Amino acid sequence: MMGTTALTTLAGTATVPQFISLATKDVFKLAPAIALFPLASFFISLFLGKRMPKGGALAGIAATIASLALSVWLVIELAIGGGTYQETLYTFVGGASDSAVVEHTGVELTFGLLIDPLAALMLVIVSLISLLVHLFSLGYMNDEGETGLPRYYAGLGLFTFSMLAFVYSDNLLMAFVFFELVGVCSYLLIGFWFREDAPPSAAKKAFLITRFGDYFFLIGVVAIFATFGTTAFAGENSFVTMAADGLNPDVAAEGIDTPGVSEDTWFTVLGLLVLGGVVGKSAQFPLHTWLPDAMEGPTPVSALIHAATMVAAGVYLVARMYGFFALLPTVLAVIALIGGFTALFAATMALVKQELKQVLAYSTISQYGYMMLALGGGGYVAGVFHLTTHAIFKALLFLGAGSVIIAMHHNENMWEMGGLKDRMPVTYATFLAGSLALAGIFPFAGFWSKDEVLFETLAHGLGGSPILLIAYGFGALAVVLTGLYTFRMVFLTFHGEPRTDTAEDPETVGWSVKLPLVVLGVLSVVGGVLNMGVLKDIIGESNLFLHEWLDGATMDTDLGALSASHYSEVLEADYGAGYEVTDLSPLGPGVVALVFAVVGVGAAWYLYSGADPEPKMTRLGRVRTVLLRNYYQDEYQAWLATGLTLPFSRIADKFDRGLIDGIVNGIGTVSMVVGRQFRQIQTGVVTNYAALLAFSLLLLLFAFGFVGGWF
């Protein structure tokens, strides 16, 4: 209808009767409310939470229910044949009529919405997880008698608002704005228990490290704006389209301003700069160190951060501007390599952790590595798919861990648990479902998505990209480790005999804890239906629902430059990444990955399934120490901050006070001393003055004579 831009406007719907129009496309008009509801709950909880029952939780729950309902409505709207929707809502800079800014720069800085299948899917995920986290918090925070609940729920509200707004941002500047706000919210929530020492420190670390990544991201935003004059994600005049035109020799491109280097070099620089923010937020090597520390926050917050908000933001950003990254083979290779390496690297550390949440933290880093691997390896759909399934099973695992932590009176050490499966059957069953999904066991959700990640990388790697093959190797190896650490965790926590009195008689948990677990548990079992890519040859491509969804196949209008098939074209184009696809059946690699996962789980069963399991990783000796100390990553980063930067700043301070200020004071002292000396001339004796005058005159004569050349 609208050609490749695939943007529909709402013009013309005014004639439709109100109730019908509401039932059709006017849901887009309500879309801003998806983010604004949680924002309202932030204010309500913060200022009125004290006087409300449940400390403001109800406002948050109501808001997220409303957001979820609207998001689902959007999905339905797109599924039954709507079109993508883009609208500028607010002009940040240059909004006045006959604006002086626009007159001179020709550009406004705006905030707007971009709702396409990707954004709609993510909106549902975020609002769903947020709702369940709110519900769970009733059991985890309220029932446990925490103080500061209004602050807690206000934080959750602001967090959800920021993430939702980030998800449907229609340009990179707005995305950056909410990307940063997401970071602040996680600072506030990780440091929720500010009276203790560890949480504020962890919060600081999280913000600082992600800020370091965001530094590069902000340069990227500014540079992209300077290069293209826009930061829009979609449409004819988006930087994504302009970049593609700039690289495509068949298209005449205008308005691209590169600072004296070739376009593909400069675009690669831009891509790498934006990637800095992604690596920070999505906790990829080497900026992953903040994430395990972030476990100091309340467990429901961990669930939110890991599954749907903070960490997801990075990977989502890559997916959001995938049309840009798909042009840049170097950047894609870097993404894949970072992703594959991080997947393996984090999995090794997860093997030796003793705290339940620590295992989950490293598994999060590892799983986001898989998503990066997929996106770098040319598997856009696979990356989004794994983002989706991971959101579900990781939220489930964290909430399950939260349930265990309630039961264990906030003891997180797995070696002091054991035998919980008979004592908390609902938690066990759901946690098991989540674990099977995480390990990638058929037919749980994670199996389908992880296989697709590996398959896509392998297929593109065999097409002639050795780097992708290396990254695939990392990813495949990590599958074994994932099975091992996941089931080590399950066996130690739930199986065997209780190893402590608390484990013998754990506290019971209420419905507000169990309900979210059940919802997520069911989704973890069936979530794979979305995209059973491994069986592509059997069930047919048209039954890969997520693929069809991201391709815009259900919509009336062409999804155009935002569709998965367009991304594939760009990936394979000469001016793009130049990937080549081999004709490989997904079945073989799928079986391989499943075998790897089963090996991992089997190893865990062999090592830890007894009634009274022993620590087996101690046999690793020194290696275990290195793993426990996280390869000394924290040490060197802490050293960079306190061992290098701080002493350097102290030296600079000494220099400043000693030398620079010393000169200033020195000049002051000299002039005072000189002044004192000159004061002695003023003797009041006339003959002295006369002598001085005569002497000065002589001196002057002499000087003039010297300069004037009389001698």
Applying CB under 8 A, among 629, 650, 702, 703 the residue interacting with another protein is 650
Amino acid at 109: L
Q: Does 36 bind another protein (CB under 8 A)?
A: no
Which one, 320 or 499, has the nearer CB to another protein? 320
Q: How far apart are CA 69 and CA 34, in angstroms?
A: 9
Q: Are 405 and 356 in contact (CB under 8 A)?
A: yes
Which one, 180 or 548, has the nearer CB to another protein? 180
Q: Does 177 bind another protein (CB under 8 A)?
A: yes
Residues contacting 77, CB < 8 A, separation 6+: 24, 25, 27, 28
CB under 8 A: which stretch of 47-55, 388-396, 560-568, 646-654 binds another protein? 646-654
Applying CB under 8 A, among 88, 201, 554, 633 the residue interacting with another protein is 201
* CB 199, min distance to another protein, A: 8
Q: Does 204 bind another protein (CB under 8 A)?
A: yes
Q: Does 105 bind another protein (CB under 8 A)?
A: yes
* CB 653, min distance to another protein, A: 4
Which one, 104 or 679, has the nearer CB to another protein? 104
Which one, 12 or 259, has the nearer CB to another protein? 259
Q: What's the chain's Rg over C-alpha atoms?
A: 31
Q: Does 95 bind another protein (CB under 8 A)?
A: yes
Amino acid at 394: K
Q: Are 501 and 416 in contact (CB under 8 A)?
A: no
* CB 95, min distance to another protein, A: 5
CB under 8 A: which stretch of 213-221, 574-582, 611-619, 703-711 binds another protein? 213-221
Residues contacting 56, CB < 8 A, separation 6+: 41, 44, 45, 46, 48, 49, 149, 150, 152, 153, 154
Applying CB under 8 A, among 36, 40, 72, 181 the residue interacting with another protein is 181
Beta bridge partners of 88: 112
Q: Which residues of 475-509 are buried (b: 16+ CB within 10 A; e: fewer)?
A: bbbbbbbbbbbbbbbbbbbbbbebbbebbeebeeb
Closest CA to 304 of 30, 38, 694, 567: 38
Applying CB under 8 A, among 12, 15, 53, 104 the residue interacting with another protein is 104
Q: Does 180 bind another protein (CB under 8 A)?
A: yes
Which one, 660 or 700, has the nearer CB to another protein? 660
Tokens of 287: 């900026």
Q: How far apart are CA 238 and CA 254, in angstroms?
A: 12
Applying CB under 8 A, among 50, 196, 539, 582 the residue interacting with another protein is 196
Residues 242-281 that bind another protein (CB under 8 A): 257, 259
* CB 254, min distance to another protein, A: 16
Which one, 279 or 476, has the nearer CB to another protein? 279
Distances 691 to 42, 680, 686, 697 between C-alpha atoms, Å: 85, 15, 9, 10
Q: How far apart are CA 38 and CA 161, in angstroms?
A: 5
CB under 8 A: which stretch of 204-212, 235-243, 460-468, 674-682 binds another protein? 204-212
Applying CB under 8 A, among 262, 265, 645, 669 the residue interacting with another protein is 645
* CB 88, min distance to another protein, A: 14
The CA-to-CA distance between both ends of the chain, in Å, stands at 97
Tokens of 276: 């800095």
* Backbone angles phi and psi of 113, in degrees to 5: -105, 140
Q: Are 137 and 300 in contact (CB under 8 A)?
A: yes
Q: Are 278 and 318 in contact (CB under 8 A)?
A: yes
For 35-154, strand residue ranges (E) read 85-93, 109-115
Applying CB under 8 A, among 23, 660, 674, 690 the residue interacting with another protein is 660
For CA atoms 614, 620, 623, 627, give the dihedral sign: negative
* CB 539, min distance to another protein, A: 45
Applying CB under 8 A, among 10, 36, 40, 223 the residue interacting with another protein is 223
> Pairing between strand 85-93 and 109-115?
antiparallel
Q: Does 101 bind another protein (CB under 8 A)?
A: yes
Residues 472-491 that bind another protein (CB under 8 A): none
Q: Does 197 bind another protein (CB under 8 A)?
A: yes
Q: Does 208 bind another protein (CB under 8 A)?
A: yes
CB under 8 A: which stretch of 100-108, 418-426, 498-506, 536-544 binds another protein? 100-108
Q: How far apart are CA 324 and CA 597, in angstroms?
A: 34
Residues near another protein, by CB under 8 A: 91-96, 99-101, 103-105, 173, 176-178, 180-181, 184, 191, 194-197, 199-201, 203-204, 207-208, 211-212, 215, 218-219, 221-223, 225-226, 257, 259, 641, 645-646, 648-650, 652-653, 656-657, 660-661, 664, 668
